[in-house]
Amino acid sequence: MSIEVNITETLAVALLILFAGYFCNSKVKFLRNNNIPEPVVGGIVFSLLAAIAHSLFDINLNFDMSFKTPLMTMFFTTVGLGASFSLLLKGGPKVVLFLFTATLYLLVQNAIGISLATATGLNPLMGLIGGSVTLSGGHGNGATYADLFINEYNMHSSVFELSMAAATLGLVLGGLVGGPVSERLINRYNLKADEYNTDFDDTVTFNPEGHDLVTPKKMMETLFVILFCMGLGHVVYLSLKTSGIVLPAFLIPLLFGVLATNLCEFSKQYTISKACIDLWGTMALSIFLAMALMSLKVWELFNLAGPMVFIILVQAVMLMFFAYFITFRIMGKNYNAAIIAGGHCGFGLGATPTAVANMEALVARHGPSPQAFLVVPLVGAFFIDITNALVIQLYLSLPFVLG
pLDDT digits 0-9 by tens, 67-107: 888 988 898 888 788 777 776 666 678 888 999 999 999 99
Per-residue model confidence (pLDDT) at position 187: 92
> CB within 8 A of 381, min separation 6: which ones?
82, 352
Q: How far apart are CA 346 and CA 183, in angstroms?
A: 14
Per-residue model confidence (pLDDT) at position 344: 96
Cα–Cα distances in angstroms (integers) from residue 175 to residues 168, 181, 374, 399, in the given order: 11, 11, 19, 35
* CA proximity to 167, closest of 349, 33, 291, 24: 349
Per-residue model confidence (pLDDT) at position 85: 76
Percent of the chain predicted with pLDDT > 70 = 88
Residue 205 has pLDDT above 60, yes or no: no
Per-residue model confidence (pLDDT) at position 197: 45
Per-residue pLDDT averaged across 371-386, rounded?
A: 81
Q: DSSP strand E in 78-152: where?
A: none
Per-residue model confidence (pLDDT) at position 391: 95
Residue 329 has pLDDT above 90, yes or no: yes
Residue 154 has pLDDT above 90, yes or no: no
* CA proximity to 337, closest of 324, 350, 353, 320: 324
Q: How far apart are CA 97 and CA 94, in angstroms?
A: 5
Q: At what angle do helices 302-322 and 158-189 cross, to 10 degrees?
A: 20
Q: How far apart are CA 12 and CA 160, in angstroms?
A: 22
- Across the chain, mean pLDDT equals 84
Per-residue pLDDT averaged across 313-335, rounded?
A: 96
Per-residue pLDDT averaged across 251-271, rounded?
A: 88
Cα–Cα distances in angstroms (integers) from residue 147 to residues 214, 222, 314, 373, in the given order: 33, 27, 25, 34
Residue 291 has pLDDT above 50, yes or no: yes
Per-residue model confidence (pLDDT) at position 297: 67
Q: What is the pTM of this model?
A: 0.69
Residue 202 has pLDDT above 50, yes or no: no
Q: How far apart are CA 6 and CA 3, in angstroms?
A: 10
Per-residue pLDDT averaged across 7-35, rounded?
A: 84
Q: How far apart are CA 380 and CA 364, in angstroms?
A: 21
Q: Comparing 195-204, 251-260, 295-304, 389-398, which segment has the lowest mean pLDDT? A: 195-204
Q: DSSP strand E in 11-168: where?
A: 60-63
Ranked by mean pLDDT, which of 112-121, 238-247, 264-273 comes out on top?
A: 112-121
Per-residue pLDDT averaged across 179-185, rounded?
A: 91
In this structure, the strands spanning 2-5 and 60-63 are parallel
Residue 177 has pLDDT above 50, yes or no: yes
Per-residue model confidence (pLDDT) at position 87: 66
Q: At what angle do helices 68-81 and 251-267 cross, to 10 degrees?
A: 40
Per-residue model confidence (pLDDT) at position 246: 66
Per-residue model confidence (pLDDT) at position 195: 60
